């Protein structure tokens, strides 16, 4: 029973890896088709002009005492834009074909990510049932559970924070993690050592996994923010029009920064909670709540770095460095996950 479930879990994880790879291809296709898109400035100008017309119309109807619903303005914008696009030459029509196709590839990418997430979730759950415990007692399980949580966090916040520009980097990231997990880190199912048998472990590690996955999204956003900010500075310096590159399609550096902040600011209290739960667990298991074990030390370093990130955002003169700080903090987090397990021995090195 449990060996059957264990191999079922392995199959789920492998299937998820393949689906993520396909999802990444779809997102790559999305960018390939939007590559040639004309400058954002031009379409924005076009939009602004149509919008002005619409709001004038709305004003006129308001003045006439009619109660035309303001909502309809949104609809009204769409139609003229489509007409304008359609009314221009064949080149423009080709462009709109391309962007339709890009949108389709984008949707396929998200759908495949969703499927991969479901498969991965099944893999994590069957693994847990096979081992008869929570599935995170070694690096392999941490990796599959972590990538599951990252993709869940991505899918949940996708619409709310409009993260669709993260499709390609996220699927790429998941593919790398799952690839490493299934090849290098793979560990067959086994039980837990006694120090790990506690519900505080479940609480501590679930909080850490959730925080880690959201921090991961935040770090990807911060990385893109740095690239985008550099691109923006380059464009301003050279006066060039935005090239049809991946970067040109990203939201503005400022907007990405705000998204990164929201993600990190969500994850930070969760991480704080994981830290506290970990201390409570350590007190029960080892008779001291804090002992500067390497794992604890790095958890603390990560926490301090993210606190510095939050501070830097409201410190004059540091605003431009926050993404860098976020990446340093994420580096500390990664080192704790990987480096400490492999290079430094301590009570926690059970991987």
Partner 1 sequence: MTQTQERTRASGAPNPPALGPLELARWAWRQLTSMRTALLLLFLLALASVPGSIIPQRQVNPVVVADFIRANPELSKWYDRFGLFDVFSTPWFAAIYLLLLVSLLGCILPRAAQHWQVMRARPPAAPRHLNRMPGHRSWTTDASPAEALAAAKEQLMARRYRVVVDQPTDESAGGSASGSSGGASVAAERGYLREIGNLLFHVAIVVVLVGVAIGSLFGFRGTALVVVGNGFANTITQYDGYQSGALFTDKQLPPFALTVKKFMVKFETQGEARGSAREFGATLDVTAEPGAPVREYDLRVNHPLQVDGAEVHLIGHGYAPRFTVRDGNGEVAFSGPVPFLPQDAMFSSTGVVKVPDARPKQLGFQGFFLPTAIIDQRRGPTSAFPDAVRPAVFLTGYQGDLGLDNGAPQSVYRLDQTRLTQFRASDGQPWRLQLTPGQSARLPDGAGSITFDGYTRWVNLQISRNPGAPIALVGAVCALGGLLLSLVVRRRRIWVRVTEADGRTVVAIAGLDKSDPALAPRVVGQAERSAREAGAERDATTRTGETDLTAEIDRITADLPGSAATVGEEHL
Structural contact between residues 250 and 228, judged by C-beta atoms closer than 8 angstroms: yes
Which among partner 1, ligand HEM, none contacts residue 259 (Cβ within 5 to 8 A by kind)?
partner 1
Q: Following DSSP, what letter does each residue of 237-304 receive, concatenated?
A: HH-PPPPSSTGGGSPPHHHHHHHHHHHHHHHHHHHHHHHHHHHHHHHHHHS-S----HHHHHHHHHHH
Contacts of 185 (CB under 8 A, 6+ apart): 138, 139, 140, 143
Which among partner 1, ligand HEM, none contacts residue 74 (Cβ within 5 to 8 A by kind)?
partner 1
- Closest approach of Cβ 262 to ligand HEM, in Å? 12
CA nearest 313: which of 262, 261, 255? 261
Give 299's Cβ-side CA count (13 Å radius): 26
Structural contact between residues 99 and 37, judged by C-beta atoms closer than 8 angstroms: yes
* Shorter beta-carbon distance to partner 1: residue 78 or 176: 78
* Shorter beta-carbon distance to partner 1: residue 69 or 176: 69
Question: 250 to 279, contacts with partner 1 by CB under 8 A?
Answer: 250-252, 255-259, 261-262, 265-266, 268-269, 272-273, 276, 279
Considering the rule CB under 6 A, would residue 234 count as an interface residue with ligand HEM?
Answer: no
Query: Cα–Cα distance between 226 and 223 in angstroms, integer?
Result: 5
Considering the rule CB under 8 A, would residue 293 count as an interface residue with partner 1?
Answer: yes
Which among partner 1, ligand HEM, none contacts residue 89 (Cβ within 5 to 8 A by kind)?
none
Which among partner 1, ligand HEM, none contacts residue 55 (Cβ within 5 to 8 A by kind)?
partner 1
**HEC states along 22-72?**
HHHHHHHHHHHHHCCCCCHHHHHHHHHHHHHHHHHHHHHHHHCCCCCCCCH
Answer for which of 7, 43, 96, 182 binds partner 1 (CB under 8 A) is 43
* Shorter beta-carbon distance to partner 1: residue 229 or 280: 280
Query: Cα–Cα distance between 208 and 239 in angstroms, integer?
Result: 45
> Burial level of 338, CB count in 10 A (0-12/13-18/19+)?
middle
Which among ligand HEM, partner 1, none contacts residue 260 (Cβ within 5 to 8 A by kind)?
none
Element (H, E) at 151: helix 139-160
Considering the rule CB under 8 A, would residue 47 count as an interface residue with partner 1?
Answer: yes
CA nearest 141: which of 105, 117, 177, 116? 177
Answer for which of 7, 51, 96, 182 binds partner 1 (CB under 8 A) is 51
Tell me, residue by residue from 78 to 117, as one string, x for binding to partner 1 by CB under 8 A and - for no binding: x--x------------------------------------
Question: 290 to 319, contacts with ligand HEM by CB under 6 A?
Answer: 307, 310-311, 313-314
- Closest approach of Cβ 321 to partner 1, in Å? 10
| Interface stretch with partner 1, choices 14-22, 177-185, 208-216, 312-320 (CB under 8 A) | 312-320
Which among ligand HEM, partner 1, none contacts residue 96 (Cβ within 5 to 8 A by kind)?
none
Which among ligand HEM, partner 1, none contacts residue 297 (Cβ within 5 to 8 A by kind)?
partner 1
Structural contact between residues 163 and 225, judged by C-beta atoms closer than 8 angstroms: no
- Closest approach of Cβ 305 to ligand HEM, in Å? 10
| Interface stretch with partner 1, choices 23-31, 108-116, 144-152, 340-348 (CB under 8 A) | 340-348
Structural contact between residues 259 and 161, judged by C-beta atoms closer than 8 angstroms: yes
* Shorter beta-carbon distance to partner 1: residue 119 or 329: 329
Answer for which of 108, 185, 203, 289 binds partner 1 (CB under 8 A) is 289
* Shorter beta-carbon distance to partner 1: residue 21 or 141: 141
Query: Cα–Cα distance between 11 and 5 in angstroms, integer?
Result: 10
């Amino acid at each position: 029973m449990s060996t059957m479930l264990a191999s079922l879990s392995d199959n789920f994880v492998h299937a998820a890896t393949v689906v993520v790879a396909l999802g990444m291809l779809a997102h790559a296709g999305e960018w390939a088709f939007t590559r040639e898109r004309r400058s954002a400035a031009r379409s924005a100008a076009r939009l602004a002009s149509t919008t002005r017309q619409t709001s004038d119309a709305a004003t006129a109807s308001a003045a006439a005492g009619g109660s035309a619903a303001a909502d309809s303005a949104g609809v009204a914008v769409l139609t003229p834009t489509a007409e304008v696009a359609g009314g221009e030459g064949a080149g423009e029509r080709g462009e709109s074909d391309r962007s339709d196709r890009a949108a389709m590839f984008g949707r396929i990418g998200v759908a495949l990510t969703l499927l991969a997430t479901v498969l991965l979730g099944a893999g994590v759950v069957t693994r847990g049932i096979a081992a008869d415990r929570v599935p995170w007692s070694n690096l392999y399980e941490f990796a599959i559970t972590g990538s599951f949580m990252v993709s869940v966090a991505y899918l949940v916040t996708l619409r709310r924070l409009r993260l669709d520009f993260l499709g390609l980097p996220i699927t790429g990231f998941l593919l790398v993690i799952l690839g490493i997990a299934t090849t290098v880190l793979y560990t067959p199912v086994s039980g837990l050592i006694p120090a790990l048998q506690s519900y505080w472990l479940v609480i501590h590690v679930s909080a850490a996994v959730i925080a880690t996955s959201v921090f991961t999204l935040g770090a990807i956003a911060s990385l893109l923010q740095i690239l985008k900010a550099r691109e923006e500075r380059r464009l301003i310096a050279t006066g060039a029009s935005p090239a049809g590159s991946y970067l040109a399609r990203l939201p503005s550096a400022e907007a990405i920064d705000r998204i990164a902040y929201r993600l990190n600011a969500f994850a930070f209290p969760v991480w704080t909670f994981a830290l506290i739960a970990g201390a409570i667990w350590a007190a029960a298991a080892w008779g001291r709540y804090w002992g500067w074990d390497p794992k604890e030390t790095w958890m603390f370093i990560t926490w301090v770095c993210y606190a510095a990130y939050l501070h830097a955002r409201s410190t004059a003169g540091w605003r431009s460095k926050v993404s860098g700080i976020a990446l340093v903090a994420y580096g500390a987090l990664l080192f704790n996950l990987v480096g400490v397990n492999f290079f430094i021995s301590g009570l926690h090195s059970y991987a």
